[in-house]
Amino acid sequence: GAGVSQSPSNKVTEKGKDVELRCDPISGHTALYWYRQRLGQGLEFLIYFQGNSAPDKSGLPSDRFSAERTGESVSTLTIQRTQQEDSAVYLCASSPWMNTEAFFGQGTRLTVV
């Protein structure tokens, strides 16, 4: 595909369950970002990958959140033991290098019930 692809587009899960959110960046993009956006609010930075490395994980809200990237391509954001406050849209973006244009996916809307 030509753009950043995220799956699933919508996810409803029960409190306490684990979820995995997937991001397929644009081919060749070395930088990959994850953000969380609660309803009516701005984007909250979660984590950033340069290649397969995450230089800064300080944005992850708690140890229930983790992310990995393999093959300098697909990335997975995992939320363990989901809580209702985890409900939000999770956005992924990729860019060819830092300080260049970042392309965003459509996001995964997570609802924890």
Partner 1 sequence: LAKTTQPISMDSYEGQEVNITCSHNNIATNDYITWYQQFPSQGPRFIIQGYKTKVTNEVASLFIPADRKSSTLSLPRVSLSDTAVYYCLVGEMSSGGYNKLIFGAGTRLAVHP
Told to check if 68 binds partner 1 by CB under 8 A, we report no
* Residue-by-residue DSSP string for 26-90: -TT--EEEEEEE-TTS-EEEEEEEETTEEEE-TT-SSTTEEEEE-TTS-EEEEE-S--GGG-EEE
Distance CA 67, CA 78 (A): 6
State yes or no: residue 1 binds partner 1 (CB under 8 A). no
**Is residue 60 at the binding interface for partner 1, with CB under 8 A as the rule?**
no
> How far is 37 from 74, CA to CA, in rounded Å?
21
Site size for partner 1 (CB under 8 A):
25
Binders in 83-112 for partner 1, by CB under 8 A: 91, 93, 98-107
Give the one residue of 42, 70, 71, 85 binding partner 1; rule: CB under 8 A: 42
Residues that bind partner 1 (CB under 8 A): 4, 33, 35, 41-43, 45, 48, 50, 53, 55-56, 58, 91, 93, 98-107
